[in-house]
Amino acid sequence: MEPTNIFDPNYFHKVVDCQWACPAHTPVPEYIRLIAQERYTEAYMLNWDSNVFPGVLGRTCDRPCEPACRRVRTEETPVAICRLKRVAADNKGDVTAFMPQVPTEKNGKRIALIGAGPASLAVARDLLPLGYEVHLFEQDKKGGGFMRSQIPAFRLPERVLDEEVDRILDMGVHCHFGQEITSMKAMMDMNFDAYFVGTGAPRGRDLELKGREEVDKHIHIGIDWLSSVAFGHITEIKGKVIVMGGGNTAMDCCRTSLRLGAESVSVVVRSAFEVMKASEWEKDDAMREGIPIINNRPPKEFVHKDGKLQGVLFECVTPVKGEDGRLRYEPSGEPDVFIEADHVLMAIGQDNHCPWIERDLGIEFDKWDCPTLDEVTLQTTNPKVFFGGDSAFGPENIIWASAHAHRAAISIHLFCEDQDLIADRPPEGVNLISTKMGVHEWAYDAEHNAASRHIVPLNEEKTALTNIRVEVELGFDQVLAEKEAQRCLNCDVQTVFTEILCIECDACVDICPMDCISFVANEDEEPLRMQLMAPADNKEQDIYVSDVLKTTRVMVKDEDVCLHCGLCAERCPTNAWDMQRSIVHVPQLGSYAE
Amino acid sequence: MTFVAKPRVHHPKLPVNEIGLTRRDYEGSVSTLCAGCGHDSVSAAIVQACAELSLPPHRFAKVSGIGCSSKTPSYFLNKSHGFNSVHGRMPSVMTGSNLANRDLIGVGVSGDGDSASIGFGQFAHIVRRSINMLYLVDNNGTYGLTKGQFSATNDKGSTSKKGVPNLYEPIDLVSSALQIGASFVARSFSGDKKQLVPLIKAALMHKGMAFIDVISPCVAFNNHSGSTKSYEFVRDHIHNVMDADLIMTHDEVTADYAEGTREDVSMPDGSTLQLYKVDADYDPYDRVGALNYVQRMQEKGEVVTGLLYVNPDAVECHDIMDTVSRPLNELTEADLCPGSDTLAALNQRYR
Ligand SMILES: Cc1cc2nc3c(=O)[nH]c(=O)nc-3n(C[C@H](O)[C@H](O)[C@H](O)COP(=O)(O)OP(=O)(O)OC[C@H]3O[C@@H](n4cnc5c(N)ncnc54)[C@H](O)[C@@H]3O)c2cc1C
Ligand SMILES: Cc1ncc(C[n+]2csc(CCOP(=O)(O)OP(=O)(O)O)c2C)c(N)n1
Ligand code: SF4
Ligand code: SF4
Ligand code: SF4
Ligand SMILES: [Mg+2]
What is the per-residue pLDDT for A593? 46
Hey, are the CB atoms on B11 and A515 less than 8 Å from each other? yes
Q: Percent of chain B at pLDDT above 90?
A: 83
Task: Give A307's contacts (C-beta < 8 A, 6+ positions apart).
Answer: A214, A215
Hey, are the CB atoms on A574 and B36 less than 8 Å from each other? yes
Hey, are the CB atoms on A507 and B40 less than 8 Å from each other? yes
Q: Give the distance from CA B228 to its chain's centroid.
A: 21
Report pLDDT digits (tens) over B167-200. Answer: 999 999 999 999 999 999 999 999 999 999 999 9
Q: Which of B34, B72, B140, B145 to mutate to test the pocket of ligand 2 (most atoms within 8 A of CB)?
A: B145
Q: How far apart are CA A426 and CA A359, in angstroms?
A: 33
Q: Which atom of ligand 1 is nearest to the CA of A400?
A: 19
Three-state DSSP state, A391: helix
Q: Are A358 and A365 in contact (CB under 8 A)?
A: no
What is the per-residue pLDDT for A594? 45
Three-state DSSP state, A221: strand
Q: How far apart are CA B52 and CA B56, in angstroms?
A: 11
Q: Are A236 and A261 in contact (CB under 8 A)?
A: yes
Q: Which residue has the higher pLDDT, B248 or A333?
A: A333
What is the 3-state secondary structure of A432-480? EEECEEECCEECCCCCCCCCCCCCCCECCHHHHCCCCCCCCECCCCHHH
DSSP A365: B
| DSSP characters over A17-58 | HHHHHSTT---HHHHHHHHHTT-HHHHHHHHHHHHS-HHHHH
| DSSP characters over A83-132 | HHHHHHHHH----GGGSPP--SS--S-EEEEES-SHHHHHHHHHHGGGT-
* Chain B contact residues (CB < 8 Å to A): 1-14, 24, 34-38, 40-41, 43-44, 190-191, 193, 217, 219, 223, 231-232, 235
Which amino acid is present at A228?
Answer: S
Element (H, E) at A197: strand A194-197
Residues B57-77 have a mean pLDDT of 98
Q: How far apart are CA A392 and CA A414, in angstroms?
A: 20
Q: Which residue has the higher pLDDT, B118 or B3?
A: B118
Three-state DSSP state, A393: helix
Please work out whether the CB of residue A577 comes within 6 Å of at least one atom of ligand 4.
Answer: yes
Q: How many CA atoms lie within 13 A of B173 on its CB side?
A: 38
Q: Which atom of ligand 1 is nearest to the CA of A59?
A: 8
Please work out whether the CB of residue A503 comes within 6 Å of at least one atom of ligand 4.
Answer: yes
Hey, are the CB atoms on B191 and A534 less than 8 Å from each other? no
CA dist list (Å): B330 to B80, B236, B319, B336: 18, 51, 18, 10
Three-state DSSP state, A249: helix
The residue whose C-alpha atom lies closest to atom 2 belonging to ligand 3 is A488
Closest residue in B to A445 (Cα) is: B4
3-state helix, strand, coil in chain B (%, to 5): 35, 20, 45
Complex confidence, ipTM: 0.90
What is the 3-state secondary structure of A476-542? CCHHHHHHHHCCCCCCCEEEEECHHHCCCCCHHHHHCCCCCEEEEECCCHHHHHHCCCCCCCCCCCC
Q: How far apart are CA B306 and CA A208, in angstroms?
A: 80
Q: Which of A62, A120, A150 to mutate to test the pocket of ligand 1 (most atoms within 8 A of CB)?
A: A150
Q: Which residue has the higher pLDDT, B3 or A287?
A: A287
| Separation in Å, CA of B215 to nearest CA in chain A | 12
Q: Are A553 and A506 in contact (CB under 8 A)?
A: no
Closest residue in B to A558 (Cα) is: B11
Element (H, E) at A556: strand A553-558
Q: Are B39 and A507 in contact (CB under 8 A)?
A: no
Rg (CA), chain B: 21
Count CB-CB contacts under 10 A for residue A298.
Answer: 15
| Separation in Å, CA of B192 to nearest CA in chain A | 9
Hey, are the CB atoms on A565 and B7 less than 8 Å from each other? yes
Three-state DSSP state, B134: strand
What is the per-residue pLDDT for B260? 61
> For chain B, which domains are there?
23-325 (3.40.50.970)
What is the per-residue pLDDT for B144? 98
| DSSP characters over B24-39 | GGGB-SPP-SPTT-HH
Hey, are the CB atoms on B36 and A447 less than 8 Å from each other? no
Query: Residue B1 — very low, low, confident or very high, per pLDDT cuts 50/70/90?
Result: low
Q: How far apart are CA A135 and CA A132, in angstroms?
A: 10
Count CB-CB contacts under 10 A for residue B55.
Answer: 23
CA dist list (Å): B329 to B57, B101, B103, B164: 20, 6, 10, 51
Would you mind telling me the total number of residues written for chain B in this entry? Answer: 351
The residue whose C-alpha atom lies closest to atom 4 belonging to ligand 1 is A151
Q: How far apart are CA A580 and CA A569, in angstroms?
A: 10
Mean pLDDT by 10 residues, chain A (594 residues): 95 98 97 97 97 98 97 94 98 95 95 98 97 97 97 97 98 97 97 97 88 89 96 95 96 97 96 94 95 96 92 95 90 94 94 90 89 96 97 95 98 97 93 89 89 94 87 96 97 97 95 96 96 93 97 96 95 96 90 52
Report pLDDT digits (tens) over A324-382. Answer: 888 899 999 999 999 999 999 999 988 888 899 999 999 999 888 789 999 999 999 99
Report pLDDT digits (tens) over B70-100. Answer: 999 999 999 999 999 999 999 999 999 999 9
3-state helix, strand, coil in chain A (%, to 5): 30, 20, 50
| Separation in Å, CA of A70 to nearest CA in chain B | 12
Torsion of Cα atoms, B139 then B141 then B145 then B149, to 10°: 170
Q: How far apart are CA A313 and CA A276, in angstroms?
A: 21
Q: How far apart are CA A164 and CA A569, in angstroms?
A: 42
β-pairing verdict for B184-189 and B209-215: parallel
| Separation in Å, CA of A523 to nearest CA in chain B | 18
Q: Which of the ligands is closest to the CA of residue A72?
A: 3
Report pLDDT digits (tens) over B19-52. Answer: 999 999 999 999 999 999 999 999 999 999 999 9
In A249-354, the DSSP E strands lie at 264-268, 293-294, 299-305, 308-314, 317-321, 327-331, 337-340, 343-346, 350-351
Hey, are the CB atoms on B4 and A509 less than 8 Å from each other? no
CA dist list (Å): A403 to A395, A406, B180, B268: 14, 5, 76, 69
- Number of cross-chain residue pairs from A and B with Cβ atoms under 8 Å apart: 95
